[in-house]
Amino acid sequence: MNNTPRNLLVILGPTASGKTRLGVGAARALNGEILSADSRQVYRGMDIGTGKDLAEYGEIPYHLIDIVDPGAEFNVFEFQRRFFAVFPEIHGWNRLPVLVGGTGLYLDAVLRGYRLVPVPENPELRRQLASLTLDQLAVRLAALRPRLHNTTDTLDRERLLRAIEIAEGEERASAEFPPLPELRPLVCGMRWERKALHRRIDARLKERLAQGMIEEIESLHRSGVPFETLEFYGLEYRFVAQYLQGQLNRNDLSQKLASAIHQFAKRQETWFRRMERQGTTIHWLDGAGDPLSELLVLWRQAS
């Protein structure tokens, strides 16, 4: 692999770490196009709250941003499908795909090649299983998934049925599953000292509030997006929805939201460490230094 040119650049990091700016700089230097790995930037009309920062892209083409309306279902399966659809297209244009984001599950699904297939309910299978006891269902699931980690599936009949349904559906689909494109990625991560990252988070939150984040979210609600749905879209939407319903005052909104984003950044870093433990090599760049120069040196060495 070391002698084979890399065909994907990945830039990951916690929120407010400067991933977008670095991604744009790298794409500009390497004739690239950006693919967003952000579970919320896929939604149209959710710009300030998700930190799309579209003005930063300039002439750099980007993908997987503004592709569905708020309220539409979007998940890791859909993200992976869309990524692997556009990945070869970018190469066909003789450009480099640059995957930028902080949604660990989406990054992992691409880098580790999750074999994801949609498995609808199977009424015929459920009829066949109806007469089996809980223990018999558990035995059947164990035969399909001998390395099952989530043992709670074996304690609830409905979850057992669904687990068997998924296992059998995936087994049938695997024979027809088209091979995923081969990825030869260079994965770079943005790293900041904890207090410095917190200062960046706080400054960015203050800026977004000044830019009209509350008004943007209020407009989404007026357009028909329920508060319950807004709360599903992450911390900014959850806390602003609570503020708009009178559950928080403005000062509490700022303070509690900033604290929650600090904790979220910590969880993102935990996920990235998990990726490393599972075999993903991440080259960490000093956010306070010159990360673009570091990245370009790594790219030349890897290519």
pLDDT of residue 207: 96
Q: Reply yes or no on whether the pLDDT at 173 is more than 80.
A: no
Structure tokens at 142: 């164990």
For residues 169-173, give the mean pLDDT.
70
Closest to 131 in 3D by CA, of 155, 157, 167: 157
**More confident of the two residues 105 and 169:** 105
Structure tokens at 281: 């090599």
Contact status, residue 112 vs residue 123, Cβ threshold 8 Å = no
pLDDT of residue 225: 92
Closest to 59 in 3D by CA, of 31, 87, 19: 31
Q: How many CA atoms lie within 13 A of 113 on its CB side?
A: 10
**Amino acid, res. 25:** G
Helix (H) or strand (E) holding 12: strand 8-12
Taking the whole predicted model, whether its pTM rises above 0.85 is answered as no
- Mean residue pLDDT of the chain comes to 91
Q: Reply yes or no on whether the pLDDT at 52 is more than 70.
A: yes
pLDDT-derived band at 73 (thresholds 50, 70, 90) equals confident
Q: How many other CB atoms are there within 10 angstroms of residue 291's CB atom?
A: 25
pLDDT in tens, 91-117: 999 999 999 999 999 999 999 988 776
pLDDT-derived band at 145 (thresholds 50, 70, 90) equals confident
For residues 170-177, give the mean pLDDT.
66
For residues 290-302, give the mean pLDDT.
97
pLDDT-derived band at 1 (thresholds 50, 70, 90) equals very low
% residues pLDDT > 70 (the chain): 92
Measured CA to CA, the distance from residue 216 to residue 15 in angstroms comes to 20
Cα 2 off chain centre by = 27
pLDDT in tens, 16-30: 999 999 999 999 999
For residues 271-285, give the mean pLDDT.
96
Count the residues in the chain. Answer: 303
**More confident of the two residues 114 and 123:** 123
Closest to 190 in 3D by CA, of 20, 31, 1: 20
